[in-house]
Homo-oligomer: A and B are copies of this chain.
Amino acid sequence: MTKAEIQTFRALYEKELFDNIVPFWEKYSLDRERGGYLTCIERDGRIFDHDKFIWMQGRELWAFSKLYNTVRHEPQWLEAAHLGAQFLRKFGRAPNGDWYFALDRDGRPLVQPYNIFSDCFCAAAFMEYSKASGKEWARDMAIQGYRRIQERKAHPKGIWTKQISENRPIRAMAMPMMQLWLAGEFQGAISDAEREHIIDESLDQILRLHLDRERHAVFERVYPDGSHPDCMEGRLLTPGHALETLWLVLNTAEQRGDRAMIDDVAPVMLWVAERGWDEQFGGFLYYQDYEGFPTEKLESSMKLWWVHVEALMAFLLAYRLTGEEVYESWFRKVHDWTWTHFPDHKDGEWFGYLNRRGEIELTLKGGKWKGFFHIPRALMNCSQWFAEMEKSSLEVK
């Protein structure tokens, strides 16, 4: 990329973030009446469900706090963060401190705290919010949450576990991926030794078990010895999840100055991308079976917004760290498909759920699983990486 191109990309990503994405959520999502966020938002801004899903509440609190902390001290972002933090603090937790999965608009719990990722998003959110607000109690809540996640992670669903793991001791990639993200978010809040331990443990599970060097694939679920049960869940591939995990690994490797890991892991993105890209209609498939059998997911061939913004981060970071043209080329390919298919130039924000052909399948801008998180995180990270590329290309010349 030339310096001019990098500047153009950065300008585009920043403009999208500040002129399209952030204003949409500021306009429609803040529940000033009852607190917290409304996240089920139709294409034109109408709220179609007032339930408050904790993943979405935590993620939005994280994103507003992050904008405040890393972009600029915009008072309305802090005020938006207060809104979520106060609601979550007051209503989000069960008596034992674990986070519910869903509340109604007024904060009454609707779904039990069976899902540890509610706790993960809230821990990261309160950590970020504590930096924005300076509130000590928020930092305490975050650290307490983090500790509880470590206690629960071996049996994340607790009494709600339906899988009988003695007979199929399968491990999912979601937990080590999340731990890697949390380790980054908790820098300075937990000891370096503890942080390094969590990172090592996560990298070990990802690189030794999920990443299969013989078969050139990243498996979603594996046995503790790295083998794969020959069944639907054992053969499941999730290109978006794999690419998200891989950029988190590269990011960690960069922070550690581990050049060998960067050179080792970046090419793995190409295995995922080549297999996951839909040659017929473009875009990445949501799910695939390693052997090409049907998956158990009816939505396998859909094209999702988060998959594509995670892919953008993956290839841009790989390009920035290696300078290799193959990553630049994938970045441009994903960029073009993403920018021509997801943004809604009429009503703002992005569509999230396209069918295989790239046509809009669900018209929502926000829902039970799409909130104010993946797009702002990707646009913030990419903008920052573009900025660093501008500087280093200056230095090189």
Q: Footprint of B on A, CB under 8 Å?
A: 40, 42, 46, 48-51, 101, 104, 108-112, 114, 159-164, 167-168, 230-232, 289, 291, 293-296, 298-302, 353, 355-356, 361-364, 367-368
- For A114, the closest partner residue in chain B by CB is B162
Partner of A298, one of B110, B167, B291, B362: B362
- Report, nearest first, the 10 A-B pairs whose CB atoms are least far apart: A48-B293, A298-B299, A294-B362, A294-B364, A108-B167, A49-B231, A112-B162, A49-B232, A296-B368, A114-B162
Q: Which residues of B contact A159 (CB under 8 A)?
A: 159
Q: Which residues of B contact A362 (CB under 8 A)?
A: 294-295, 298, 300
Report how far A223 CA is from B314 CA in the complex, Å: 46
- For A355, the closest partner residue in chain B by CB is B355
Query: B50 contacts A231, CB within 8 Å?
Result: yes
Report how far A361 CA is from B111 CA in the complex, Å: 32
Given A159-B159, A164-B111, A367 and B294 contact (CB-CB distance below 8 Å):
yes
Q: Which residues of B contact A231 (CB under 8 A)?
A: 49-51
Report how far A296 CA is from B40 CA in the complex, Å: 10
Query: A355 contacts B356, CB within 8 Å?
Result: yes
Q: Which residues of B contact A363 (CB under 8 A)?
A: 294
- For A289, the closest partner residue in chain B by CB is B48
Q: Which residues of B contact A163 (CB under 8 A)?
A: 110-112
Q: How far is the CB of A105 from chain B (nearest CB, A)?
A: 9
Q: Which residues of B contact A302 (CB under 8 A)?
A: 298
Q: List 20 A-B contacts (CB under 8 A).
A: A42-B294, A46-B293, A48-B232, A48-B293, A49-B293, A50-B230, A51-B232, A104-B167, A110-B167, A111-B162, A112-B161, A159-B159, A232-B368, A294-B363, A295-B362, A298-B299, A298-B361, A299-B299, A300-B362, A301-B361
Query: A110 contacts B168, CB within 8 Å?
Result: yes
Query: B40 contacts A168, CB within 8 Å?
Result: no
Q: Which residues of B contact A291 (CB under 8 A)?
A: 48
Classify the secondary structure of A's interface with B.
Answer: loop
Q: How far is the CB of A208 from chain B (nearest CB, A)?
A: 25
Q: Which residues of B contact A367 (CB under 8 A)?
A: 294, 296
Q: Which residues of B contact A295 (CB under 8 A)?
A: 362
Q: How far is the CB of A172 from chain B (nearest CB, A)?
A: 15
Q: How far is the CB of A38 from chain B (nearest CB, A)?
A: 12
- For A42, the closest partner residue in chain B by CB is B293
Q: Which residues of B contact A289 (CB under 8 A)?
A: 48
Q: How far is the CB of A234 from chain B (nearest CB, A)?
A: 9
Query: B353 contacts A298, CB within 8 Å?
Result: yes
Q: Which residues of B contact A48 (CB under 8 A)?
A: 232, 289, 291, 293-294
Partner of A160, one of B46, B160, B230: B160
Report how far A364 CA is from B363 CA in the complex, Å: 29
Q: Which residues of B contact A109 (CB under 8 A)?
A: 164, 167
Query: A232 contacts B40, CB within 8 Å?
Result: yes
Report how far A361 CA is from B296 CA in the complex, Å: 12
- For A369, the closest partner residue in chain B by CB is B296
Report how far A17 CA is from B86 CA in the complex, Å: 61
Report how far A231 CA is from B367 CA in the complex, Å: 11
Query: B164 contacts A162, CB within 8 Å?
Result: no
Report how far A44 CA is from B86 CA in the complex, Å: 57
Q: Which residues of B contact A355 (CB under 8 A)?
A: 301, 355-356
Given A294-B367, A356-B355, A361-B298, A104 and B168 contact (CB-CB distance below 8 Å):
yes
Q: Which residues of B contact A161 (CB under 8 A)?
A: 112
Q: Which residues of B contact A299 (CB under 8 A)?
A: 298-299
Q: Which residues of B contact A361 (CB under 8 A)?
A: 298, 301
Report how far A119 CA is from B362 CA in the complex, Å: 35
- For A47, the closest partner residue in chain B by CB is B293
Q: How far is the CB of A130 from chain B (nearest CB, A)?
A: 29
Contacts A104-B167, A112-B163 known; 4 new A-B pairs at CB < 8 A: A48-B293, A50-B230, A104-B168, A232-B368
